[in-house]
């Protein structure tokens, strides 16, 4: 029954370019009305995955199912997906109206129907009255919104977005993130979003797919990915982290940074090497006498909402976020609650189950 909910199914998709593997056995499904983000550093294969779904690339092997049917042989212009391109790719020889109406005109829709739909799209993206403008005369943010309108007006089953906010400044990007999310919820369209910005992914997505080197490292909702990263790479890529090499002494006891800490993880075995991840905000600064570790504050940075302190505990260095500040050079104690210590297998033995859609 769950299978039927899948709108898009990528099965064992691989892609080589002249012998270089860009995608290696990708398995992923996307549900109807889901906001899925492919997240990873550049060169991880996220854009290639998107282009395969759009039809601009053909995988070397694997299947691409759309509502259960293989669509690999269907050319891009017949697929019920639309793409918002990285640099918008607006048609420079057409004005705003004709850009948005491009897809509708191809469908031979009646003129007043086209006009009505373009109008309502312009309303949706807050650009009413811009019909006659030349696209080159618009700002980056406006061009972005026209590109989104041009795709959405065709009422695609899936909207593919390839780093659509990359060229915008920070403030505009944040605004557009919220706008896109609310648009997606209002229209009930499935979004597949590609970005390298972890904050963007966390803000907007229902499901995040973390990729690296053509592999999927982890799939899950933002909170799951943030709180339970599958490995040190994910932990480091999503948010800031203190990552240490450690040893799982036994169940619920881990040794790192020169001492043993109680934790909540089990099932790793005894005396097994592990990666230990602690988020900076999960470390509490306490009195020198009550901390699990004692250290000296090397530097303090004001970051707006919190202070970021770099604390040296012998040879180990911790990054700590706290709303209260301790002066530089002072001796403090550090304390970590067992629940906030995340244990993961080292990267060189990747979890096989990480590639499954874990919900």
Partner 1 sequence: MRYNVSLPWWAYAVMGLGLAVFIALVGLSIRRNHGIKRSLFSAPYTMWMILFTILPCILIAYYAFTDTAGNFTLDNFRTFWDSNSEMKKLVGEEYAASIPRGTVNVDTLVYSLWMAFLCTVISLLLGYPAALFMADRQMKLGASIVVLFVIPMWMNFLLRTIAWMSLLEDNGLINMMLKAMGFKSVRLMYNSGAVLLGMVYNYLPFMVFPIYTSLSKQNPSLHEAAADLGCSPMRTLTKVTMPLSLPGVISGITMVFMPSVTTFFIPRVLGGGNTMMFGDLIESKFLTEGNWNGGSALSLIMMLLILISLSILRKADPNGEGSGIV
Site membership for partner 1, residue 133 (CB under 8 A): no
Instruction: Provide, rounded to whole angstroms, the least separation between the CB of residue 136 and partner 1.
Output: 10
Instruction: Provide, rounded to whole angstroms, the least separation between the CB of residue 56 and partner 1.
Output: 5
Residues 6+ positions from 352 with CB-CB distance below 8 Å: none
# chain residues binding partner 1, by CB under 8 A: 25
DSSP string, 232-286: HHHHHHSS--EEEEEEEEETTEEEETTEEEE-S---S-SSEEEEEEE-GGGEEEE
Whose Cβ is closer to partner 1: residue 156's or residue 346's? Answer: 156
Cα distance between residue 5 and residue 223, in whole Å: 23
Q: Is the dihedral of CA 91, 93, 99, 101 positive or negative?
A: negative
Centre a 10 Å sphere on the Cβ of residue 223 and count the other Cβ atoms it contains: 10
CB-side neighbour CA atoms (13 Å) of 186: 10
Whose Cβ is closer to partner 1: residue 84's or residue 276's? Answer: 84
Cα distance between residue 333 and residue 82, in whole Å: 54
- Of the candidate spans 34-42, 54-62, 121-129, 254-262, the one that interacts with partner 1 by CB under 8 A turns out to be 54-62
Instruction: Provide, rounded to whole angstroms, the least separation between the CB of residue 82 and partner 1.
Output: 6
C-beta of residue 140 within 8 angstroms of C-beta of residue 164: no
Site membership for partner 1, residue 327 (CB under 8 A): no
Site membership for partner 1, residue 140 (CB under 8 A): no
Residue 181 backbone dihedrals phi, psi, to 5 degrees: -60, -45
Site membership for partner 1, residue 55 (CB under 8 A): yes
| Binders of partner 1 in range 59-118 (CB under 8 A) | 75-78, 81-83, 85-87, 89-93, 102-103, 106-107
Centre a 10 Å sphere on the Cβ of residue 211 and count the other Cβ atoms it contains: 25
Instruction: Provide, rounded to whole angstroms, the least separation between the CB of residue 142 and partner 1.
Output: 17
Conformation bin of residue 256: beta by default, left when phi > 0, alpha when psi is -120 to 50: beta
- Of the candidate spans 35-43, 64-72, 146-154, 199-207, the one that interacts with partner 1 by CB under 8 A turns out to be 146-154
Site membership for partner 1, residue 17 (CB under 8 A): no
Whose Cβ is closer to partner 1: residue 154's or residue 198's? Answer: 154
Site membership for partner 1, residue 56 (CB under 8 A): yes
Residues at the contact surface with partner 1, assessed by CB under 8 A = 54-56, 75-78, 81-83, 85-87, 89-93, 102-103, 106-107, 150-151, 154
């Amino acid at each position: 029954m769950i299978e039927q909910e899948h709108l898009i199914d990528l099965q064992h998709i691989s892609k080589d370019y002249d012998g270089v593997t860009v995608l290696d056995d990708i398995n992923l499904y996307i549900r109807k009305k889901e906001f899925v983000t492919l997240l990873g550093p550049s060169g991880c294969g996220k854009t290639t995955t998107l282009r395969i779904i759009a039809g601009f690339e053909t995988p070397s092997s694997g299947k691409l199912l759309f509502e259960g049917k293989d669509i690999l042989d269907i050319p891009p212009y017949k697929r019920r997906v639309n793409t918002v391109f990285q640099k918008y790719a607006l048609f420079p020889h057409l004005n705003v109206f004709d850009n948005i109406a491009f897809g509708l005109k191809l469908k031979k829709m009646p003129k007043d129907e086209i006009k009505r739909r373009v109008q309502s799209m312009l309303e949706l993206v807050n650009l009413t009255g811009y019909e006659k403008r030349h696209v080159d005369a618009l700002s980056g943010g406006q061009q972005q919104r026209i590109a989104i309108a041009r795709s959405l007006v065709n009422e695609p089953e899936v909207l593919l977005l390839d780093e659509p906010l990359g060229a915008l400044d920070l403030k505009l990007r944040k605004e557009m993130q919220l706008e896109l999310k609310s648009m997606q919820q209002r229209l009930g369209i499935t979004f597949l979003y590609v970005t390298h910005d972890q904050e963007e992914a966390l803000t907007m997505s229902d499901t995040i797919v973390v990729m690296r080197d053509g592999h999927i490292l982890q799939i899950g909702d933002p909170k799951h990915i943030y709180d339970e990263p599958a490995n040190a790479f994910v932990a480091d890529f999503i948010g800031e982290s203190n990552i240490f090499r450690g040893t799982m002494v036994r169940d619920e006891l881990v040794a790192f940074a020169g001492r043993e800490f109680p934790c909540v993880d089990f099932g790793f075995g005894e005396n097994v090497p592990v990666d230990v991840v602690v988020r900076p905000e999960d470390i509490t600064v306490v009195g020198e006498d009550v901390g699990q570790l004692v250290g000296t504050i090397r530097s303090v940075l004001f970051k707006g909402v919190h202070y970021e302190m770099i604390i040296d505990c012998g040879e180990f260095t911790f990054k700590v976020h706290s709303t209260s500040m301790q002066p530089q050079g002072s001796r403090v104690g550090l304390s970590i609650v067992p629940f906030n210590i995340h244990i993961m297998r080292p990267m060189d033995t990747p979890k096989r189950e990480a590639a499954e859609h874990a919900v």
